Structure 1
């Protein structure tokens, strides 16, 4: 359902003032976004200011968001003349998500369109929205006809040095670590999403972009020119081995991606679906073939596992034993031996009642990785041929790796893959890729993305052994907020380098990390050796959710989260403390009134490779003390007593 109506009382305009031209207020009236002229005049430079009020206290979230675009043919920044502001609208749209943190979603906001013209009388609109959990704005060239290169986007988020921030140094695979700081003294390019806490600690906000399409490139944030100003910047020319243009070419009429700022408490950030809310609705009408689920995965425990038919069969057996619907054949399936070839393995998998997924190199000269098959996804003709084969072989999804660029040509490539895969009812997930931009709403066959430093990094060197603990407590507040995250969690044995997180910590990741296809990465014996209660938990834990609630936590320290599926709830909690045990008072205030639940609580035992399982009856008024070891954690399951 999508409706638009006039809401004159919800948006305030100050057209009599030169400086402030419009104020857009969220439906719950907690968030406002104001448009100002930097020269206190009718034309010149323009910026936005974002405010948040809660419990009678007003907080200045972002004092200035600079605006403007520079096209190759003309400028839309310095000499913009204000023309008008549209009649205010209420945006109200309900939609259902097939996978994600919440099943029933609402795109509800107040919107105004502000119109400008530059010195050449060319038009630029800025569409501004205020949501209950944030703000969004985008640029629009309403005139028809013509294609133009955009030389620069001037959007920049300005803040004071005392703003706490969690930022990840940009790299094309988006697999860095987040670092925290109270100032902008480190000056470089940063990836999305970026988390901030205002100096008065009264408000949190997360900066991202959404609804990126073929008519633009991906952007990143840079404070290289001004340490206090995070400016949107285009991809570097060296990305993708220098192929493709770093500056996008747009065709009019045109709209930019949404510039999104999620705002509020940490719970508001974690629970938000704003990135998907503002994105284009599904272009796939028939979606019953899209089936989220858990997959077994052999690469983490054996980097060459798919080369062995016996190993592939063992992981199919694991999926069957655990009741997981999928198993992934990672790289080297085209050189399989050790008792069978690809077709033999696919037959074995299908006979077990499991559905196979297969890995592909994205191909082309944009990636230095030569691993085969390299060119089967590169063109429309390649994909049609390969998807036709996969349908006959019973393969239901593809993992496509090594994109290495967010230039416009690569954005088109991503979306072309999703289009072609949907025609063959093939699910897709991307690796070595960008972070989510709301595409899972538009293409719900896009199940997940990597774009994260995940458990695979236990293969890459000793560093992740010591950084994973803190990293795991930051991701639910940052990367996983904006979309599915293929971290490949829940490992109890070791890969090439060990983990020092407790078994309880690892189990909790099955709840804390959301992914439309969730790859549980351990070897079969790692799961078979678990206590019965833990195996039962992993057999039943969902990977798509009806609701998500942040119960407690702080990025880099700890997190406790509850997720709902039907009338049942799952809880996960972890600690990053390397020195001390923690005790958490687990409250069940999120439960409905008058219903008692059986709680299965699986927490750390006496040491980090032992569990302690408890069973008890709880309700909304209950609370339970839970012990977490150093780097520890726990998971819980709540089933209503009927």
Structure 2
């Protein structure tokens, strides 16, 4: 260990200059950089031959990476040939930092770095080469403050031609299945990071680190028969307005344990940009989309998932694609009163500009949402990385955690932005995978950062792996947010599985490789506090899996194992308890595609289980009056009252309302430092209505602490509904010109005077039904609802309705008109390609008019529904 000082994110950064003397190119043709310790197994050698630089790496004297080109090209110069080494500067780095996520919270780093000053003609640049005990990495530094345009890199890796390779055919969302081949025998094509190779006892995992909007992401390009893998940028031109530091070209090198346990990608990344990380909370999440695709549209069904999470002490529920802002604020209040926080899904294009993010993100934060899942970025371009930079800064400022789906892989992002809880970039559970690739992921994708595989599918999916295999996955697969794949009823039918899931953490103090080989089996141990968790899985025939327990400390340990019932691989797991020592081995017979999991804790007198109690928030009661304040005009006032009780002692209870911007409230919060059962916390406040029309909610919340809980604060709220009426529509008004009281849509937002098209607001086409184009109307997607205010001032409604012509396949839908919740008129099932159908209704006396579409009974695909020329007589 080396001396240091503590801080939240960067505990120690020590740089020792070892040589500052310039070394002319003529003085040497080769330079060797060794690992940081005298016993380090790794060396990297840079050679200069005929003006070209090449880099190689060796482990324990064995060549792991043969000499391969180094360099890059810009619009001004080719920095890959006719090179001269002008000098070098060396240093040893010793660094500590703390993570909020990952395989190990506390990180200690040592590395030896050499900075080579290079010239190609008049052009100058630097190559920074770093060697640690678990890998070799290099990056380019272009000092031109006037800016640079990079047109490509010469960077490449040359492997043993016969090395076994586990490669990911490239797409920009990294969700293909990996293929096992050889370095030279792989087909020609593009492959994604990270790529794993094995030559004898040596493994190499190729990837990159510290990629941001100053550069482009990359992939590996391979020619048939060649053992060389060249780096290709996602952009043909990468523009830097000033000096440039490229990402690290990174090779994690070692035995399989070294590669699996490596934190090199995070070690190379930029330090945290967030000083206070106390608001960042990893945890387990109930998630409904995979097992019930339509359930994110169903408020009542989402409450079932909330209740399930609350019963089992899971801190989150993820509401995926389809949620409505009509009910998410209420769901959030319902969840938080039960100790569960809400996470919301977004298509990235709804957040692709500063204006959209400024509108959406503060709004969901005000609802009480704690984090967002952002999907479908599907690009490694510099422009997309610049977007990552922007949304990461903005969500951090709002203290919103984030999960990226349809994304690139982690590049040390969770070190730089600790609120990144997980990223997808995996052929995960939503692809309904066969188990063959499952033992590959711990040695490839999950090495470089949290992986949102969404594990533990018991009754959803192909069901070709055993339950023991599934229950091991949340130990084997690290993800700071672990979104479980199945529905509450499935887990309730597997109580031993559920009991284990309730215990498994999602962030770790330590990770150890135990046994296994990519594609065959994998076993890891991870520590949280004084408890070790073991996960082991196999792919292929039944066998006995043995894992050493040498990671345990001295003395006796209580080991509780959950494994498949012999002969019943799809039934609930069985539990077994034994007292073992670090010298023992955990061995179990597992079925085909099987596995097991275990918890180990110190065996103390009287201890019968390693389980910790599942935490539940206190039972509370909050009553508010009125619940609905009705219609209120701007500037008017009304009174709110509230009473709060709790069924066990709590501290620092505060009761207060909050009002929208432009509204005001008279009266102070009420509070009680020591609040006990039987007490009532009550208050009254006078609210003055603001000028903005539409539906509003005035939440009244009781916030308090319970010292027995890990959660920093419990939030219990209910809301008073208020409606500020807009003007009654003018005679002849089109519905597309009116403010929406509420709107929900089956895909993307409701469009005004445009078709629905895709996810982005304003991306629609002209409204076209049966070959006829219409100027005015609404573009929706079944199932949809749009409600507008008539104020009992209109007489009739007319429209032409049908399926828009923009879809390539016919959809089907029905159209309904509702007045104050009662159906006034409806169509039969209409299909794409047919002419528009007239739909009209008498709306005399109607206060709220709703335009609704439903799918035609065959699902929502292609159901782009148009309300053409929707006119009111008022």
Structure 1 residue 248 displacement after superposition:
1.1
Structure 1 residue 335 displacement after superposition:
7.7
Within 1, Cα distance between the matches of 2:435 and 2:137? 33
Structure 1 residue 259 displacement after superposition:
0.9
Partner of 1:636: 598
* Aligned residue runs from structure 1 range 577-596, under 5 A: 577=540, 580-593=541-554, 595-596=555-556
The answer to whether the 8 A contact 1:14-1:21 is kept is: no
Within 1, Cα distance between the matches of 2:24 and 2:500? 57
Partner of 1:238: none
Within 2, Cα distance between the matches of 1:564 and 1:153? 41
Q: Give CA-to-partner distance per residue, 1:412-437, whole Å, 9 cap, x none.
A: 00111000000000001101010111
Structure 1 residue 391 displacement after superposition:
1.9
* Aligned residue runs from structure 1 range 505-516, under 5 A: 505-516=469-480
Within 2, Cα distance between the matches of 1:225 and 1:413? 35
Which of 237, 240, 258 aligns to 1:268? It is 258
The answer to whether the 8 A contact 1:316-1:349 is kept is: yes
Secondary structure at 1:193 match in 2: strand
Which of 470, 486, 511 aligns to 1:522? It is 486
Structure 1 residue 129 displacement after superposition:
0.8
Within 1, Cα distance between the matches of 2:24 and 2:329? 69
Within 2, Cα distance between the matches of 1:175 and 1:387? 28
Structure 1 residue 349 displacement after superposition:
1.7
Partner of 1:412: 386
Within 1, Cα distance between the matches of 2:54 and 2:25? 16
* Aligned residue runs from structure 1 range 447-466, under 5 A: 447-458=421-432, 464=433
Q: Give CA-to-partner distance per residue, 1:607-629, whole Å, 9 cap, x none.
A: 21232321010111122321111
The answer to whether the 8 A contact 1:279-1:442 is kept is: yes
Secondary structure at 2:324 match in 1: helix
* Aligned residue runs from structure 1 range 276-295, under 5 A: 276-295=266-285
Partner of 2:82: 79
The answer to whether the 8 A contact 2:183-2:197 is kept is: no
Partner of 1:25: 35
1:440 aligns with 2:414: yes
Q: Which runs of 5+ in 1 are unaligned?
A: 236-244, 364-374, 459-463
The answer to whether the 8 A contact 1:138-1:259 is kept is: yes
Partner of 1:367: none
Partner of 1:342: 328
The answer to whether the 8 A contact 2:189-2:222 is kept is: yes
The answer to whether the 8 A contact 1:329-1:359 is kept is: yes
1:384 aligns with 2:384: no
Partner of 1:203: 202
Which of 248, 252, 275 aligns to 1:258? It is 248
The answer to whether the 8 A contact 2:36-2:92 is kept is: no
Q: TM-score scaled by structure 2?
A: 0.66
Secondary structure at 1:473 match in 2: coil
The answer to whether the 8 A contact 1:26-1:32 is kept is: no
Partner of 1:228: 227
Q: TM-score scaled by structure 1?
A: 0.89
Structure 1 residue 408 displacement after superposition:
0.4
Partner of 1:368: none
Structure 1 residue 314 displacement after superposition:
1.1
Partner of 2:49: 38
Q: CA RMSD in A?
A: 1.8
Which of 562, 567, 571 aligns to 1:602? It is 562
Which of 442, 449, 474 aligns to 1:483? It is 449
Partner of 1:47: 54
Partner of 2:310: 320
Within 2, Cα distance between the matches of 1:602 and 1:359? 33
Within 2, Cα distance between the matches of 1:314 and 1:357? 15
The answer to whether the 8 A contact 1:295-1:327 is kept is: yes
Which of 516, 520, 527 aligns to 1:553? It is 516
Structure 1 residue 307 displacement after superposition:
0.7
Structure 1 residue 639 displacement after superposition:
1.2
Within 2, Cα distance between the matches of 1:416 and 1:553? 40
Moved more, 419-428 or 604-613: 604-613
Structure 1 residue 7 displacement after superposition:
4.7
The answer to whether the 8 A contact 2:210-2:268 is kept is: yes
Distance 1:301 1:158, change over 3 A: same
Higher helix proportion (structure 1 or 2): 1
Within 2, Cα distance between the matches of 1:161 and 1:210? 26
The answer to whether the 8 A contact 1:81-1:117 is kept is: yes
Q: Give CA-to-partner distance per residue, 1:468-508, whole Å, 9 cap, x none.
A: 3121100000000000100000111124xx22100000000
Partner of 1:311: 301
Q: Give CA-to-partner distance per residue, 1:372-409, whole Å, 9 cap, x none.
A: xxx2x122232122221122111000000111211100
Structure 1 residue 212 displacement after superposition:
0.7
1:165 aligns with 2:139: no
Within 2, Cα distance between the matches of 1:543 and 1:48? 38
Structure 1 residue 14 displacement after superposition:
11
Within 2, Cα distance between the matches of 1:564 and 1:183? 35
1:113 aligns with 2:129: no
Q: Give CA-to-partner distance per residue, 1:53-74, whole Å, 9 cap, x none.
A: 0xxxx21000123111110121
The answer to whether the 8 A contact 2:25-2:84 is kept is: no
Secondary structure at 1:433 match in 2: coil
Within 2, Cα distance between the matches of 1:50 and 1:427? 39
Structure 1 residue 161 displacement after superposition:
1.8
Q: Which runs of 5+ in 2 are unaligned?
A: 1-11, 605-874
1:571 aligns with 2:581: no
The structure having more radius of gyration, on CA atoms, is: 2
Secondary structure at 1:192 match in 2: strand
Q: Give CA-to-partner distance per residue, 1:560-605, whole Å, 9 cap, x none.
A: 110000111000000101xx32112232111112x21111011111
The answer to whether the 8 A contact 1:193-1:479 is kept is: yes
Within 2, Cα distance between the matches of 1:414 and 1:246? 20
Number of aligned residues: 588
Within 1, Cα distance between the matches of 2:209 and 2:347? 26
The answer to whether the 8 A contact 2:261-2:513 is kept is: yes
Within 2, Cα distance between the matches of 1:114 and 1:220? 25
Secondary structure at 1:189 match in 2: strand
Within 1, Cα distance between the matches of 2:31 and 2:419? 42
* Aligned residue runs from structure 1 range 64-75, under 5 A: 64-75=67-78
Within 1, Cα distance between the matches of 2:25 and 2:55? 15
